[in-house]
Amino acid sequence: MKILIEIPDSDATFGMKVLRSLSFVKKAKAMSNGSVNLWDDLKDAAMDVRQHKEGKVKLQSLDDFLNEV
């Protein structure tokens, strides 16, 4: 299982040291800013799709999007 933990920059070194000291943690590594931004964008997109499937939001069609570009 993978778990994402958000730690303030000021405590990141200590947090990573603690995580790496736990025997059941297989891998602990920091995410780059680009990875964090991509992760947030993917979460937002997944939420939009979920809301569209539930009928709560109407998404723009591909044709409408391409016409704007």
Q: What percent of the chain has pLDDT over 90?
A: 67
| pLDDT value at residue 3 | 87
pTM (two decimals):
0.60
* Radius of gyration of the chain, Cα coordinates, nearest whole angstrom: 18
pLDDT in tens, 24-59: 999 999 888 899 899 999 999 999 999 999 999 898
Burial class (CB in 10 A: 0-12, 13-18, 19+), 41: exposed
Range list of β-strands (E), the chain: none
